[in-house]
């Protein structure tokens, strides 16, 4: 029997999706991921406080004011230590039915950027003698994932991920996760 574990393909976490009424900036609909991103560090178990925080964060973090009252949406968003890319898609409902709302709405897609090419291509991982699994852990670390998130993504225990991180740090000659990321960026080859 073959006991080899397969390494899952790299997947990005689900994006946050937020549908806003353009006139009021009130959310018409949003998914759990958008709630978690915008309400961080508040837990998103559907509490009223969490939804109020989302409303506050929409105006504070997502809307970029322009001269003469014009409005635009940001292209990047910081939430905790993570950076997200934001894309705004303008929608209008011309079906004539009032239940859908009048006027325009904006669909915001909030997602993490992909893994940088220098990591994906494994040149830096080969330079430090990292195994394919260690390279995969590094790629997820660069995306800002926590130990628990990496463990879930790779179907490993959190202790196994911590062990991988210790080995990676030893091979790279650093003592922190930030040191790993810094070494990667120092060793980018053109």
How much of the chain exceeds pLDDT 90, in percent? 12
Highest average pLDDT, of 59-73, 121-135, 158-172, comes from 158-172
For the cut 90, the answer to whether the pLDDT of residue 62 exceeds it is: no
CA distances from 46 to 56, 109, 165 (A): 16, 20, 34
Mean pLDDT of the 154-172 span? 93
The pLDDT-based confidence of 37 (bands split at 50, 70, 90) is: confident
Mean pLDDT, the chain, rounded, equals: 77
My answer on whether omega of the bond before 74 falls inside 30° of 0, hence cis, is no
Residue 182: CB partners within 8 Å, gap ≥ 6? Answer: 174
CATH class of domain segment(s) 117-186: mainly alpha
What confidence score (pLDDT) does residue 48 get?
63
Phi, psi of 148 (to 5 degrees): -65, -40
The pLDDT-based confidence of 171 (bands split at 50, 70, 90) is: very high
């Amino acid at each position: 029997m073959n006991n080899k574990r397969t390494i899952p393909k790299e997947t990005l976490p689900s994006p946050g999706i937020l549908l806003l009424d353009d006139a009021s900036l009130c959310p018409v609909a949003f998914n759990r991921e958008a709630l978690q991103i915008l309400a961080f560090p508040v837990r998103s178990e559907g509490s009223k406080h969490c939804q109020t925080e989302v409303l506050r964060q929409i105006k504070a973090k997502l809307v970029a004011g322009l001269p003469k009252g014009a409005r635009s949406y940001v292209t990047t968003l910081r939430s905790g230590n993570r950076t997200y890319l934001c894309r705004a898609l303008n929608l209008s409902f011309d079906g004539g039915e009032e239940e859908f709302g009048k006027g325009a709405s904006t669909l915001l897609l909030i997602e993490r950027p992909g893994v940088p090419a220098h990591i994906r291509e494994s040149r830096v991982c080969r330079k430090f003698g990292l195994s394919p699994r260690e390279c995969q852990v590094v790629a997820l670390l660069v995306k800002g994932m926590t130990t628990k998130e990496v463990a879930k993504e790779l179907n490993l225990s959190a202790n196994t991920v911590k062990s991988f991180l210790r080995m990676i740090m030893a091979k790279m000659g650093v003592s922190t996760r930030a040191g790993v990321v810094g070494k990667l960026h120092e060793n980018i080859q053109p």
